[in-house]
Chain A
Amino acid sequence: MASYKSSLQPTFMSAGVTQRNRLGEWVDRHSGTFFIAPCATLILIFAIFPTVYSIFFALSRVRFTGDGLKFRYVGLRNFKKLFFGSSEVQFLGRTDPVSIFGYVIFIIIVIAVLVWLWRSRKITTWVGMIGRTISAAMAIFLSWLLCASLLSGNAIGTLYTTLFYVIVGCALQFVIGTGLAFLCSQPISGKNFFRVVFFIPLMITPLGVGYAMRMLADVTKGPFEPLLAFFGLSDWIWSADAWSARFIMMVGDSWQWIPFIFICMLAALENIPGDHVEAAQVDGASSPQIFREIIWPQVLPVAATVLLIRMIEAFKIVDLPNIMTGGGPGTATESMTLYSMAVWRANDMGSSAAIAYMLLILTVVVCASFFNYVVLGQVKKANA
């Protein structure tokens, strides 16, 4: 009993020991911070600081003088130029006239987005509602641009050209990459050879891919010239037409990036326990059923992550259009990064930073929306 009571009393130790213990406990409590601090500091120096510093560029007219850079504050003028000034059509596309079809589609999309937002209020917090409101605003803005430009028969701008590379390009790459991975995960002969072959393009520098594609796509001297002549397409000049040029650009981009999706998806597919599939086969499930019910739910988290990484990367496409067409014909194949680079090359740092910020906002909102509403939704559904 006595020993029990004494064990409940606080133990007194010397002052030095207490301080050391407290320090040790404090270090223990903050060990995570200590471990992550060097990395966070580096990120702050090399990523966050330049990003914040570039705000000064975006809000200024930057002049090169004998005394270095001179900043003159111009407010939002660099942004205004993109949305209402001389760069409006290049950046947003031509939005006039808008067709009846464009108006109808836009109204339908707006109603759908607003209904989605209204329903969201019951299933999310107020912070979530802010996020969803931002996503909805971006969706309405992008829908309006799509309806007023492409769906009304007008030319699209740099913004939608970038989205074309991201949405259509990534979708195509994902389907082909996943398909190839699925094939190579099957017990077929020579699959190791194909694994290496499919992976090679990823190891080539984007500059090399650009020049290789430029040579391959040359319709007068390229290797496909006899084929085009055979089909009577000798006069077809892909680089003179906006959509064929964008399509060729996407082909080049896909050739380079399908291996990335292929290798990630192959790893995911090969990690699926064989007994799950065998059990389904024993139960008489067909191949499509096995893929849909067994394989797909298990690779979905990897697939979503791969697609997200690929989308973020695709937003930054610059090498291929720069090398293959210089952004032409006109500005048809110009991505936002190439646009920013072209303006930067003229030493217009302010406008270049403004375009880069627009790209940053677009990338963050689109990718965050995709992750929160599509990826997480699918993962929850699969887990359920």
Chain B
Amino acid sequence: MFLKKLSALTLGVAAMGLTAIPAMAQDFKGVTVDILTRPGYVIAGPLAERGKDFEAMTGAKIVVTEVPFAEIFPKIQADWSTGTNSIDVGVFAAGWGVELDAAGLLEDLDPYIAADSKIDLDDIAPYFRDFGQKVGGKTKLLMVDGDFQMVYYRTDVLSSNGLQPPKTWEEYLDVASKIHGQDMNGDGEGDFGSCIFKKRNAQSYFAIQTFAAPIVQTQGTAQGFHFDNATMKPIINNEGWKKAFELYKATGEFGPPEELNMDIGDTRALFKAGRCGLIVEWGDPGTLQLDDDATAIKGKMYAISAVGSTEVLDRATGKLVPVSAATAPYAVDGINYAPFAAFGGWAGAVNKGADAKTKAAAYAFLSYMNQAAQSGVDVTIGATGYNPYRTSQLASTDLWVKAGMPKALADNYLGAINGAINNLNMASDMKIPGAQKYTSVVLDTELARYLAGEITVDEALANIEEGWEEVTEDFGRDEQVASQALALGL
């Protein structure tokens, strides 16, 4: 199935490439565009494959270099900042662009967009268009992927146990405890109630934010859930985050024994093998379950746009209070939801220091990847790692059914993503200078130490608070306040 899809992708690319030639008929012969991104086929693979077609159309050679996830940002930052300029395009988390832009390293893409009739920016969902692609009101990145973190559950397992999908994290634990140890793939072995990637230096720090968002953010997206926006004092050492940490750790009781050493690749292998009842993931499982190696779960992994909380943080006291119209105005049926736009999606940015022709070729390639004709195919293939971010991809199930997704699953999948993207209390990922340090270094390290039992939750939160304050001082408090206001649209 996977190979068939890749063949379909290749044929589709070729067919669409032919139709796209007139628009792309710029002569980039002799130009090489060096792209740096994450390792593996996910994200990098389609860039390389479509790069070959782009070369056939325009003459520009696309070279994709892969580095470990934790090294993407520092390598790009060091390369562009020191004038080495061996990288022309960085494909990374949309939120990371702001730090590079603050250093004056990103090319303004608006002039290119003005001359581009194919990109159709209006078709990009508002969150990704305005928060993902723009920095300081100017388009500095182009999305190739749209990201939200959601909860997925095995419909067959839950229904056979007479269970409903969880609405709160407490219910998540309850469901996980009831199905943990059951054989979910018919191999005679007990499987796991919950699977979450908890390895350090991987994706664990995103999942903890998915747990914390509905407890800490109550007043809409502009409120944020990391800082007091007026002072940039961390809102982390309180009962809200403490509860999120404790709930997150508690899921480990119903997870695989090696969960602390598992990254997203490991958990994906597990749920594709039918070994997980509940998972926290991005949009990928919706399409990954259609792969040939996922027959155990095909059409059975349904999504929930967000899991919420019946208690929320009172920021004045740092205590938890019950959800009410006053404490959580966006709550539904007494539950506050805050779907987390984790990572913000993979986006491409062009190095301002590259020469003019390379920059033009780099933009043309990113535009080519972003255009509905190409991305509309890519997002339906799980192996690409690309999730929908265009309205045309989210408005109808036709595209998905055509790609082989059962209609009921497509309804559920798009419903969950649309539910997340249209939620007025949607939680935005950090988009300020130092975002990577705040989260993937400070938060990730202390979370890992808490999960491993090295420190208590109170120590972890106190350390994060202190660490975040140090990062804020390093970047300048006033500058960070201004960046936060810009990021949250204040």
- A86 in complex: contacting residue of B70, B260, B436, B463, CB < 8 Å: B463
A343 at the interface (CB under 8 A from B): yes
Q: Verify A85–B200 contact, CB threshold 8 A.
A: no
B454 at the interface (CB under 8 A from A): yes
Q: Verify B199–A328 contact, CB threshold 8 A.
A: yes
Q: Verify A329–B451 contact, CB threshold 8 A.
A: yes
How far does the alpha carbon of A66 sit from the alpha carbon of B261 in the complex, in Å? 37
Q: Verify B83–A330 contact, CB threshold 8 A.
A: no
- A66 in complex: contacting residue of B199, B352, B442, B450, CB < 8 Å: B352
- A64 in complex: contacting residue of B103, B454, B474, CB < 8 Å: B103
Q: Verify B200–A326 contact, CB threshold 8 A.
A: yes
Q: Verify B441–A68 contact, CB threshold 8 A.
A: no
Which residues of chain A from 306 to 344 have a CB within 8 Å of any chain B CB?
Answer: 325-332, 342-344
How far does the alpha carbon of A63 sit from the alpha carbon of B466 in the complex, in Å? 20
Q: Among the listed stretches B36-44, B73-81, B284-292, which one makes contact with chain A, having 4 or more residues with CB under 8 Å of it? A: B73-81
Q: Which residues of A contact B71 (CB under 8 A)?
A: 345
Q: Mark A334-368, 1 if CB is under 8 A from B, else 0.
A: 00000000111111100000000000000000000
How far does the alpha carbon of A263 sit from the alpha carbon of B105 in the complex, in Å? 53
Q: Which residues of A contact B449 (CB under 8 A)?
A: 89-90, 330-331
- B448 in complex: contacting residue of A66, A69, A219, A329, CB < 8 Å: A329
By secondary structure, the A interface counts as loop
Q: Verify A89–B448 contact, CB threshold 8 A.
A: no
The closest CB in chain A to the CB of B475 belongs to A63
Q: Which residues of B contact A331 (CB under 8 A)?
A: 200, 445, 448-449, 452, 454
Q: Verify B81–A66 contact, CB threshold 8 A.
A: yes
Knowing A85-B466, A237-B258 are in contact, say whether A326-B452 is a contact too (CB < 8 A).
Answer: no
A81 at the interface (CB under 8 A from B): yes
Q: Verify A64–B77 contact, CB threshold 8 A.
A: yes
B32 at the interface (CB under 8 A from A): no
How far does the alpha carbon of A381 sit from the alpha carbon of B483 in the complex, in Å? 67
Knowing A239-B260, A330-B200, A347-B77 are in contact, say whether A65-B104 is a contact too (CB < 8 A).
Answer: yes
- B452 in complex: contacting residue of A61, A86, A94, A332, CB < 8 Å: A332
The smallest C-beta distance from B240 to any residue of chain A, in angstroms, reads 20
B16 at the interface (CB under 8 A from A): no
How far does the alpha carbon of A64 sit from the alpha carbon of B104 in the complex, in Å? 10
Q: Verify A348–B437 contact, CB threshold 8 A.
A: yes
Which residues of chain B from 415 to 472 have a CB within 8 Å of any chain A CB?
Answer: 436-437, 440-442, 445, 448-455, 459, 463-464, 466-467, 470
How far does the alpha carbon of A52 sit from the alpha carbon of B200 in the complex, in Å? 33
The smallest C-beta distance from B439 to any residue of chain A, in angstroms, reads 10
- A61 in complex: contacting residue of B70, B451, B464, B474, CB < 8 Å: B474
Knowing A240-B260, A326-B199, A328-B260 are in contact, say whether A64-B455 is a contact too (CB < 8 A).
Answer: no
By secondary structure, the B interface counts as helix
Knowing A239-B261, A326-B199 are in contact, say whether A342-B453 is a contact too (CB < 8 A).
Answer: no
Q: Verify B105–A66 contact, CB threshold 8 A.
A: yes
Number of A interface residues in the complex (CB < 8 A): 37
Q: Verify A155–B82 contact, CB threshold 8 A.
A: no
Q: Which residues of B contact A332 (CB under 8 A)?
A: 452, 454
A275 at the interface (CB under 8 A from B): no
The smallest C-beta distance from A297 to any residue of chain B, in angstroms, reads 45
Knowing A65-B103, A347-B77 are in contact, say whether A326-B463 is a contact too (CB < 8 A).
Answer: no
A235 at the interface (CB under 8 A from B): yes
Number of contacts between A and B (CB, 8 Å)? 121
The smallest C-beta distance from A154 to any residue of chain B, in angstroms, reads 9
Knowing A64-B77, A220-B258 are in contact, say whether A94-B442 is a contact too (CB < 8 A).
Answer: no
The smallest C-beta distance from A80 to any residue of chain B, in angstroms, reads 10
Q: Verify A69–B82 contact, CB threshold 8 A.
A: yes
How far does the alpha carbon of A332 sit from the alpha carbon of B74 in the complex, in Å? 25
Q: Verify B257–A242 contact, CB threshold 8 A.
A: no
Q: Which residues of B contact A328 (CB under 8 A)?
A: 199-200, 260-261, 448, 452
B19 at the interface (CB under 8 A from A): no
Q: Verify B260–A347 contact, CB threshold 8 A.
A: no
How far does the alpha carbon of A66 sit from the alpha carbon of B353 in the complex, in Å? 9
| Residue of A89, A237, A240, A346 with most partner-chain B CB within 10 A | A346
B201 at the interface (CB under 8 A from A): yes
Q: Verify B441–A346 contact, CB threshold 8 A.
A: yes
How far does the alpha carbon of A274 sit from the alpha carbon of B247 in the complex, in Å? 69
Q: Verify B82–A68 contact, CB threshold 8 A.
A: yes
Q: Verify B470–A346 contact, CB threshold 8 A.
A: no
Q: Which residues of B contact A61 (CB under 8 A)?
A: 474
The smallest C-beta distance from A239 to any residue of chain B, in angstroms, reads 4
Which residues of chain A from 28 to 67 have a CB within 8 Å of any chain B CB?
Answer: 61, 63-66
How far does the alpha carbon of A85 sit from the alpha carbon of B470 in the complex, in Å? 9
The smallest C-beta distance from B264 to any residue of chain A, in angstroms, reads 13
Q: Verify B78–A64 contact, CB threshold 8 A.
A: yes
How far does the alpha carbon of A94 sit from the alpha carbon of B437 in the complex, in Å? 23
How far does the alpha carbon of A326 sit from the alpha carbon of B463 in the complex, in Å? 21
Q: Verify B453–A66 contact, CB threshold 8 A.
A: no
Q: Mark A229-241, 1 if CB is under 8 A from B, else 0.
A: 0000001010110
- B260 in complex: contacting residue of A81, A155, A329, A343, CB < 8 Å: A329
Q: Which residues of B contact A219 (CB under 8 A)?
A: 258
- B201 in complex: contacting residue of A68, A86, A89, A327, CB < 8 Å: A327
Please name 26 pairs of A and B residues whose Cβ atoms are closer than 8 Å in the assembled complex, sorted by A. Answer: A64-B78, A64-B103, A65-B103, A66-B80, A66-B104, A85-B466, A86-B464, A86-B466, A89-B455, A89-B459, A94-B454, A155-B455, A240-B260, A240-B261, A240-B452, A326-B200, A328-B199, A328-B261, A329-B260, A329-B451, A329-B452, A331-B448, A331-B454, A345-B71, A346-B437, A346-B441
Residues of A within 8 A of B (CB): 61, 63-66, 68-69, 81, 85-87, 89-90, 94, 155, 219-220, 235, 237, 239-240, 242, 325-332, 342-348
Supply 18 further A-B pairs (C-beta < 8 A) apart from A66-B353, A94-B455, A342-B441.
Answer: A85-B466, A86-B442, A94-B454, A94-B459, A155-B453, A155-B455, A326-B199, A326-B261, A328-B200, A330-B448, A331-B448, A331-B454, A342-B70, A342-B445, A344-B74, A345-B70, A346-B74, A348-B437
Pairs A-B, 3 closest by C-beta atoms: A330-B452, A66-B104, A329-B452
